[in-house]
Structure 1
Amino acid sequence: MSFLRSIAAAVAVASSLLAAPAQAEDLFKAREAGVLRVAMSGTFPPFSFVDDANNVVGFDVDIGTEIAKRLGLSADIVTTPFDGIIAGLIAGKFDTVVGSMTITEERAKAIDFVGPYYHGGRGLFVPTGSNIQDFQAISGHTVAVTLGETHDKWAKEQNGWSVRSYKSLPEMLLEANAGRVDAIVADKIPVLVAIKEQGLPLRQIEIPGVDPTANVGIAIRKENPELKAAMQDALDAMMADGTYAAISEKWIGQDIR
């Protein structure tokens, strides 16, 4: 499903839910259950990924778990494909998405956001040995994106690009290293971390006219002011007392707020 179709579907589901009888506030329901169900893709290292012990770990996992703890709840980490994550949230499959989701006006029509909880930004990368030296030279080449991300829609709007959509960042990196795609477009932070820690032979290409930063938020269902306020208070407290900085340094190597 394309980015626009997935958003349209999510808005339709949201409209049908708003037309239904009022439901209990999600914070109340989570406290009754004692659990906050936290969703993410699980395929976006170092934010969320499966480690050698088959545990889902990463920056987003630690942030979601700490917020749940501060609400007096345990965290149930749920992994789901990113292209359907908004629809899954609206349908009640989980309570929140701590999944490196960029805040956009289109998404805000269907869901609410807590945060931003970090600042990312779009990055364009090519293999170090590529003859592509600037943005204009991408035309006529194959570019990899993650299905459902804002970068997916943006890449498909570029003239002359052949865009291939993938389920995860690791898959895209493998395709670039194998020479099956000529470039990748993704959030720059995890790619730069992979280049530094894994020695991946990639280099960044400047994107003219693109804001180098993006607000990344925590998604919740609409009509949940108490949950939104409680999660924002927890996030603000984490940032104030050094917990957030420690999590960020652990996974990213710097404070990315």
Structure 2
Amino acid sequence: MAVQSSRKVTTMKLAAPISAAILTLIIGFSSANADDLQKIKDAGEMSCALSGAFPPFSFVDEQNNVVGFDVDICNAVAQELGVKAKVVTTAWDGILAGLVTGRYDTIIGSMGVSEERQKAVDFTNTYYHSGLAIFVSEGSQAKSVADLEGKTIGVTLGELGEEWAQKRGGWTLRTYKGLPELLLELQSGRIDAIVTDDVPVLVAVKDKKANVRMVEAPDLPKWDVAVAIRKDNPELREAINKAIASIRESGKYLEIANKWVGSDIF
């Protein structure tokens, strides 16, 4: 598996609305680059973009390797397609732009499916399910969302948690690059709570790497997580769907999920 760093990426908030002009450009570019499956097979390699800052799905280990659930899924899907995997790490707020402009073949980076994102890219079938949650430090008195009115909340720039927190309002928002920063700020007391995906934090709690707890928030959104590809690539979409089904049936998926999360998240 090759690992490449992609740094020069156009900044784009994934959760933000896409203007008509940008949408037209994206659709035109995607159409011009159809038949990505054949290109991948000809190259013998499928590149998968992810942030590298979202444990346990993608992060840099002590040996400076990018590892995690999404990395293993990328490898497993590529193997099913008969090609090698290449992991590309890039900033989350530019990851969608990088896909539509051809810097990589797919995003296998824990991207939730949303109507806004579907205007720019296509998605495969779901490969895991997740949702937002609100976490506070163990010593916090907050037990529900109502207890956090007027408090300072941390979110990751460009993620759906930021979009939800902005729409709800009632607190001061601070944006960060990823989960490690969020947990550090929360446990140091510089922010009162964080809004982020549930699974990575629950894993951190299980592994005793975070002294935090979830507060009651029944109205938080849940979503499907899928592989993002460029528009007008039905052959690639079908091939990846078959690959996901195959690794589910073989038990490879559950092996990966147990390794990184401790349970089946399909």
Distance 2:105 2:158 in 1: 20
Give me the whole-angstrom Cα distance separating, in 2, the residues matched to 1:208 and 1:40: 29
Which residue is equivalent to 1:247? Answer: 256
What is residue 216 of structure 1 aligned with on the other side?
A: 225
- Residue 132 in structure 1 maps to residue 161 in structure 2: no
Return the offset for 1:256: 0.5
Partner residue of 2:18?
8
- CA shift, 1:16, in A, is 1.7
Deviations 1:113-145 (A, max 9, x none): 112100111110001111222210111111011
CA distance in 1, matches of 2:98, 2:14: 16
Deviates more, 1:92-101 or 1:126-135: 126-135
Secondary structure of 1:60's counterpart equals helix
Unaligned runs of 5+ in 2: 1-10
Give 3-state SS (helix, strand or coil) of 2:32's partner.
Answer: coil
User: Which one of the candidate residues 173, 187, 192 is aligned to 1:182?
Assistant: 192
Whichever residue aligns with residue 197 of structure 2, its letter is D
Q: Which residue of 1 aligns with 2:39?
A: 29
**Residue equivalent to 1:256:** 265
**Letter of the aligned partner of 1:112 in structure 2?**
D
Following TM superposition, by how much is the alpha carbon of 1:6 offset from its aligned partner in structure 2, in angstroms?
5.0
In the alignment, what sits opposite 2:53? 43
Alignment of 1:72-87 (within 5 A): 72-87=82-97
2:246 aligned residue (237, 240, 243): 237
Q: Secondary structure at the match of 2:53?
A: coil
Q: In structure 2, how many angstroms separate the alpha carbons of the residues matched to 1:23 and 1:94?
A: 12
Cα distance in 2 for residues equivalent to 1:26 and 1:4: 22
Q: Is the 8 A contact 2:132 2:198 kept in 1?
A: yes
Give unpaired runs (5+ residues) of structure 1: none
Equivalent residue number for residue 66 of structure 1: 76
Deviation at 1:199, TM superposition (A): 4.2
CA 1:91 to 1:14, structure 2 compared with 1: closer, same or farther past 3 Å?
A: farther
Identity of aligned residues (%): 47
Quick one: which amino acid aligns to residue 44 of structure 1?
F
Q: Helix, strand or coil for the counterpart of 1:37? A: strand
TM-score with structure 2 setting the length? 0.91
The Cα shift of 1:55 comes to 0.4
User: 1:23: how far off?
Assistant: 3.4
* Counterpart residue number, 1:55: 65
Of 209, 214, 225, the residue aligned with 2:234 is 225
CA distance in 1, matches of 2:210, 2:14: 32
Structure 1 pair 93–156 and aligned structure 2 pair: CA distance change class (3 A): same
Q: Is the 8 A contact 1:145 1:185 kept in 2?
A: yes
**Once superposed, which parts of structure 1, at least 4 consecutive aligned residues long, lie more than 3 Å away?**
1-7, 11-14, 17-24
**Aligned pairs, how many?**
255
The question of whether the paired residues in 1 share the 8 Å contact of 2:15 and 2:163 is answered with no
Q: Where does residue 3 of structure 2 map in the other structure?
A: none
Q: Provide the C-alpha distance between the structure 2 equivalents of 1:55 and 1:5, rounded to a whole number of angstroms.
A: 29
Instruction: Work out which of the residue numbers 217, 242, 249 in structure 2 matches 1:207.
Output: 217
How big is the alpha-carbon RMSD for the aligned residues of Structure 1 and Structure 2?
1.8
CA contact (8 A) 2:154 2:175 kept: yes
Segment drifting more, 195-204 vs 71-80: 195-204
Alpha carbons of 1:146 and 1:233: their partners in 2 closer, same or farther (altered >3 Å)? same
Aligned-partner residue type, residue 35 of structure 1: E
1:145-191 deviations in whole A, cap 9, x for unaligned?
A: 11111111110112321011111100110000111110001110000
Q: TM-score, normalised by structure 1?
A: 0.94
Q: Which amino acid aligns with 2:260?
A: W
After TM superposition, the structure 1 stretch with the greater mean CA deviation from structure 2, 235-244 or 21-30, is 21-30
- The code of the aligned residue for 2:119 comes to K
Give the corresponding residue for 1:104. Answer: 114
Q: Among residues 136, 145, 158, which one is paired with 1:148 in the alignment?
A: 158
